[in-house]
Each structure stands twice: as structure tokens, then as C-alpha cells.
């Protein structure tokens, strides 16, 4: 072996024994740090989900039904991306809890209720409606069809009018909730939203109709225009002088057509 070859081998061996440059060490160090940080985040996430599931498991021990339902729904919301089947079950548990609350609010002694009792029923109705509304909105953000199935499996008894109600006043009901669900669906599936909107419109008007129409129009202008025409056709058969919801919807449509001339205005002519 030549002297030059021997010297080259010795130099190569010495280079391999020398410490790595600082930049190389920094790269290795950064990679290790990233791996450790990712592992730490996974552990935190796993422990968090375990804690959320534990909280959900303790919810039945809460005294108030509205608190039990809230905890179950909040846990389902957090668990959806991690464990969807578990989250779906928790959402159903939350709804069943409200259904029990709904059943207890409908119990009567058979006697004609006084105005004070009607007022209490009025307050209970709106409190329960708000709880159902919040729950179904949570569900609809994940799966509008599931929210619709849950809505149709629950029902609030119609509200008896009280003395101070204005003529033509209609309390919110399942039609309003259907249209809210359809509004959430519009962001994902305009065609499905249009189907839900038509089914709901066939049952009557609600104040949620305008937000639904606007959302549908944002996602698909052609579908929004088509549905606006259907709404207007139905409005023409109503007495807007005595129909508060119908007149409110008509005014909103007219106002929006002036702000955004062209689409909805063509239907109003």
C-alpha cells in the first residue's frame, strides 16, 4: 500500500473520531426535542380525553337534569374527533335527560290551569326550548342528520296562550329548530339544507327562516334564489296584516333585496 493511501486512510479515521460540527448537533438536538414534544403532547391529549370521559361518567350523579345534560353534551362535543361513537352515545344521553325534564313539565292534575300556572308553563317552555336548541346546535355542527334524528325523537307540548300574549304571537317550536339545523347543514351540504328547508317550510314559518335563506344563498346562490321564490310564493297566501312571522319575513326579504339587488328582488316582483 502506498504511503499516500495509508495517510489518506489515517486522516479519514481521524475525521470520523472528531466531534460533529455544531450545526449537525443542533439538527439532531432539534429533532429529538420535536419528538419529545410530540410525545408529551400526545400524553397530555390522552390524559385530557380520559378526564373528559371520566367527567361524562360522573354526570348522572348531578342533581339537576339541565346540568347533567349540559355536561354530557359538552363532553360529547370534546370527544367527537377522538371517539365519535362514544360522542354520539353521549349526545343521545344528553337528549334523553332533557326528555325526562320535558315529561315532568307536562304533568298536570287535570284541572284547568290558572293564569299564574300558565305563566309558569310559559317560563318552563322557553327554558326547555333553549336547552334543546343549544344541544341540537352542538350536534348539528358535527352531524346535521344526527341532530335532525334527535329533534324528531323529542317533542315539546304546544304552549297554552297566556292573557298578555299579543294576537298572532307564535312561540318557537320544532319548525324553528329544524330550520336552525338546516342552516348548519348549508355550510356542508347545500342540497341537503335545501331539502330540510323545504320540509320545514311545508310545516309553516319561523323566525329562523331568514338566517337559513341567507346561509343557503351564501353557499349556493342558485339554490338560495330558488328557495327564496318558494318562500315568497307561500307568503302570497298569508294575511300579512295579522301574521307576525309572515310579515317579519316579508320585510326581511325586501330589506335584503335592497342591500343586495338582483337575486332576491327578482323573486319579489
CB 236 within 8 A of CB 207: no
Flag whether pLDDT at 187 surpasses 80.
no
pLDDT at 109: 55
Give CA separation, 105 vs 132, 170, 209, in Å.
Answer: 14, 20, 28
Q: Coil, strand, or helix at residue 3? A: helix
Percent of the chain scoring above 70 in pLDDT: 76
All three cell numbers of 248, joined, read 317579519
Range in 26-40, 59-73, 136-150 the model is least confident about? 26-40
pLDDT at 267 over 80: no
Separation CA 156–CA 140 (nearest Å): 19
181 and 151 Cβ atoms separated by less than 8 Å:
yes
The lowest-confidence range among 6-10, 32-36, 98-102, 265-269 is 265-269
Least confident segment among 11-25, 44-58, 246-260 = 11-25
Give the span between the Cα atoms of 150 and 169, in whole angstroms: 27
Instruction: Pick left, alpha or beta for residue 173 (phi over 0 → left; psi -120 to 50 → alpha; otherwise beta).
Output: beta
Q: Kindly indicate the confidence band of residue 12, based on its pLDDT and cuts at 50, 70 and 90.
A: very low
Segments making up each domain of the chain, as ranges: 42-105+116-150, 189-269
Residue range 189-248, pLDDT digits in tens: 888 888 887 887 887 777 777 888 888 888 888 888 888 888 888 888 777 777 777 777
At residue 16, does pLDDT exceed 90?
no
Mean pLDDT of 40-49: 81
Amino acid at each position: 500500500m502506498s504511503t499516500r493511501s495509508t495517510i489518506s486512510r489515517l486522516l479519514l479515521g481521524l475525521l470520523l473520531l472528531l466531534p460533529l460540527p455544531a450545526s449537525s448537533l443542533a439538527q439532531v438536538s432539534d429533532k429529538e426535542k420535536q419528538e419529545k414534544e410530540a410525545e408529551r403532547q400526545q400524553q397530555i391529549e390522552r390524559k385530557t380525553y380520559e378526564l373528559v370521559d371520566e367527567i361524562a361518567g360522573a354526570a348522572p350523579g348531578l342533581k339537576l337534569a339541565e346540568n347533567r345534560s349540559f355536561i354530557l353534551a359538552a363532553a360529547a362535543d370534546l370527544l367527537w374527533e377522538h371517539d365519535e361513537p362514544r360522542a354520539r352515545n353521549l349526545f343521545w344521553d344528553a337528549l334523553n335527560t332533557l326528555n325526562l325534564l320535558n315529561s315532568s313539565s307536562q304533568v298536570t292534575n287535570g284541572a284547568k290551569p290558572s293564569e299564574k300556572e300558565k305563566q309558569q308553563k310559559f317560563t318552563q317552555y322557553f327554558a326547555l326550548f333553549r336547552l334543546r336548541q343549544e344541544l341540537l346546535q352542538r350536534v348539528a355542527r358535527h352531524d346535521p342528520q344526527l341532530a335532525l334524528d334527535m329533534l324528531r325523537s323529542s317533542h315539546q307540548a304546544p304552549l297554552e296562550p297566556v292573557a298578555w300574549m299579543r294576537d298572532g304571537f307564535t312561540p318557537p317550536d320544532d319548525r324553528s329548530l329544524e330550520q336552525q339545523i338546516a342552516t348548519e347543514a348549508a355550510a356542508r351540504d347545500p342540497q341537503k339544507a335545501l331539502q330540510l328547508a323545504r320540509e320545514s317550510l311545508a310545516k309553516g314559518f319561523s323566525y329562523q327562516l331568514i338566517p337559513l335563506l341567507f346561509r343557503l344563498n351564501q353557499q349556493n346562490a342558485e339554490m338560495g334564489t330558488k328557495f327564496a321564490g318558494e318562500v315568497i310564493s307561500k307568503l302570497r297566501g298569508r294575511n300579512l296584516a295579522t301574521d307576525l312571522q309572515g310579515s317579519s319575513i316579508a320585510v326581511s326579504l325586501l330589506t335584503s333585496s335592497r342591500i343586495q339587488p338582483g337575486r332576491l328582488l327578482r323573486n319579489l316582483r
